[in-house]
Amino acid sequence: MNGLTELFVEAGTLMIAGMVFVFAFLGLLVVFINQVLAKLAVAYPDPVATPKPVRAKSPKAPSGLSPSVVAAISSAVNSYRQKHNQN
């Protein structure tokens, strides 16, 4: 039983040491990356977006179809239905 206790203590010590090592490594990695990015941000700043010039609104054409086009389409649809409705 004494040997088993020593193994558990050693396992716990190794686990804690590993967790501390990983935490320290990741912390240093974050600090290093932030410092490198800060230096790169000074050397290569983001471009400033320029606003697009506002154009004067021109009068638009009517959004609907002309009545003659609507009549032609309706006539074509009716003709198609009459020819193909012989079921």
SS3 at position 47 = coil
Note the pLDDT tens digit of each residue in 23-69.
999 999 999 999 999 999 888 888 888 888 887 776 655 567 788 98
Query: Which is more confidently placed, 52 or 78?
Result: 78
The pLDDT value recorded for residue 16 is 97
Tell me, what DSSP letter sits at residue 54?
P
The pLDDT value recorded for residue 31 is 97
Backbone angles phi and psi of 84, in degrees to 5: -105, 10
**Hey, where are the domains in the chain?**
1-46
The closest alpha carbon to 68, from 57, 79, 76, 56, belongs to 76
The pLDDT value recorded for residue 23 is 98
What the block records as the tokens of 86 is 């012989």
Please tell me the pTM assigned to this model: 0.48
